[in-house]
A = this chain, B = another copy of it.
């Protein structure tokens, strides 16, 4: 059976705030399903984020290695970070790149925007490629607890093939950047 978009629509009925944290908000909504029944939706509100594929002049990619408490693992990712209130994604991308890698990008190109978990969260991540990188005067934030590492496209393809890059936004960004 094929339904029109209207026939897939869930009408919002009620919304109850559960938690307002430093980064996340959680709410529980009741919706009217297409079959006339009601359903419960648990929704994590996220401020949105950016992720950047930084390409050096010789074609290497800068990745960051960091500990992620929710999964209790140190993993490799592209530089990324949350939007500050009112901050434009492009400004956020340049800020996060500088904070995490110490590089200023003279060229920033938008790849696309992705939803990381549309089933339970509204998080959107805006993806960019940063080129024409210049070392900033400022050192990367010491409070970031991040290692920056340089890899060739070949090395990155190998790491992806071996499951050594397992972060969704990083995989999408690297794929769409043509790595």
Contacts and interface: CB of A to CB of B under 8 A. Distances in A.
Interface of A: 1-3, 5, 7-10, 12, 18-19, 21-24, 26, 28-29, 31, 33-35, 40-44, 46, 65-71, 73-75, 77, 112-125, 142-143, 145-147, 160, 163, 166-169, 171-172, 175-176
Contacts of A70: 41, 43-44, 117-122
Nearest to A25: B42
A15 B45 CA distance: 21
30 contacts: A1-B142, A3-B147, A5-B74, A8-B147, A10-B69, A18-B18, A19-B19, A21-B28, A24-B26, A29-B69, A44-B120, A70-B117, A70-B119, A70-B122, A71-B115, A71-B124, A73-B118, A112-B163, A112-B166, A113-B166, A115-B166, A115-B167, A116-B116, A116-B168, A125-B168, A168-B172, A171-B171, A171-B172, A172-B172, A172-B175
A65 B8 contact: yes
Copy count, this protein chain? 2
Say what secondary structure dominates the interface of chain A.
mixed
A87 B176 CA distance: 33
A120 B68 CA distance: 8
